[in-house]
Every structure is written in structure tokens, then in C-alpha cells.
């Protein structure tokens, strides 16, 4: 019975120790950070929709290079994107554990290989008339997608 009192798990009468409290706090911070980043992305999307009145699909117009914005809105949205895709991830890197840092580094390296090898291959296939010419939106989406896929594969591998 005395051994039961020394464990801190479900049904335990002991309060969680400092390590367990720190782990819970870190997990709570990370969850809130991700929710905040997602909300910030939603704000950027909302600004994009507000800044392009009359444009039914602002994101599609942006991808196609046909979006027209007021210069002030363009500056505000560009700054928000730099914060959302640059500053927030850089800050997040400092707040996550070493396993997640490693996954992030590997997934970013995978995306780098996709862009370094993918762009010339795409350009050659376009030169042969098999694909349209490479464009910035396609490269961004491919790189971002590769990062997400690589991270997901690593995450699933580490779980099992």
C-alpha cells in the first residue's frame, strides 16, 4: 500500500511532481501557440478577403497572379505573412523540445531538396510542353506541402 502512495498517476493521491508539471505546462504552451498561429493565419485570410472586395476567390486570384490590392492592404498583409511564416516559426523553434526541432529540421531539408530538384525538373518538363511554366505559387505550395508531408511521416515513424 505504501508503494501505491509513491506513484503519481491516475487514481494517485500524490500531487504531480515538478517534472510532470513542467511537461504539462510545455504541452499547454505548445497547444496554445499552435491555436494562436492558426488564428493568426485566419486573420491573414480575413484581411485578404477584406482587402480584395469583389474578388470571389482571393486566394485563387493570388495564386494565379491576378489579385489586385490597395497598396496599404498589400503592405499590412505582407507584414502579417512575414510574421506568420517567418517570425512565429522561428520563435516556436526556441520553445519546442529537441525531438520536434529535429523533425522540423529534417522536414525543412526535405522541402529544400524538393525545391532544388523540383524546379529544374519542372522547367525542363515545361520546355518539353508537358507542364505549364513554373510559377512562384506552385513552388511555394510544393515546398510547403513537402515540409508538411515529411514532418507527418517523421511524426508517424516516431510514434510507432
Provide the b/e sequence for 44-81 (b: ≥16 CB within 10 Å): beebbeebbeebeebeebbbeeebebeeeeeeebeebe
Q: To the nearest whole number, what is the mean pLDDT of the chain?
A: 84
pLDDT of residue 33: 87
pLDDT digits (tens, 9 = 90+) for 59-115: 667 766 777 888 888 898 899 999 998 898 888 888 888 888 899 999 999 999 999
Grid cell of 153 as nine digits: 511521416
pLDDT digits (tens, 9 = 90+) for 103-156: 999 999 999 999 999 999 999 999 999 999 998 888 988 999 999 999 999 999
pTM here? 0.67
Lookup result for grid cell 515538478: 18
Amino acid at each position: 500500500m505504501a508503494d501505491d502512495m509513491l506513484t503519481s498517476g491516475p487514481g494517485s493521491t500524490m500531487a504531480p511532481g515538478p517534472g510532470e508539471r513542467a511537461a504539462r505546462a510545455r504541452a499547454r504552451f505548445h497547444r496554445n501557440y499552435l491555436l494562436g498561429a492558426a488564428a493568426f493565419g485566419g486573420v491573414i485570410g480575413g484581411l485578404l478577403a477584406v482587402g480584395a472586395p469583389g474578388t470571389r476567390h482571393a486566394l485563387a486570384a493570388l495564386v494565379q497572379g491576378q489579385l489586385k490590392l490597395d497598396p496599404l492592404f498589400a503592405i499590412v498583409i505582407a507584414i502579417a505573412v512575414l510574421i506568420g511564416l517567418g517570425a512565429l516559426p522561428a520563435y516556436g523553434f526556441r520553445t519546442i523540445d529537441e525531438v520536434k526541432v529535429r523533425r522540423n529540421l529534417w522536414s525543412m531539408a526535405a522541402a529544400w531538396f524538393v525545391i532544388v530538384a523540383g524546379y529544374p525538373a519542372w522547367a525542363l518538363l515545361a520546355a518539353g510542353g508537358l507542364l505549364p511554366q513554373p510559377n512562384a505559387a506552385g513552388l511555394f505550395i510544393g515546398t510547403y506541402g513537402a515540409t508538411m508531408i515529411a514532418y507527418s511521416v517523421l511524426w508517424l515513424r516516431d510514434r510507432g
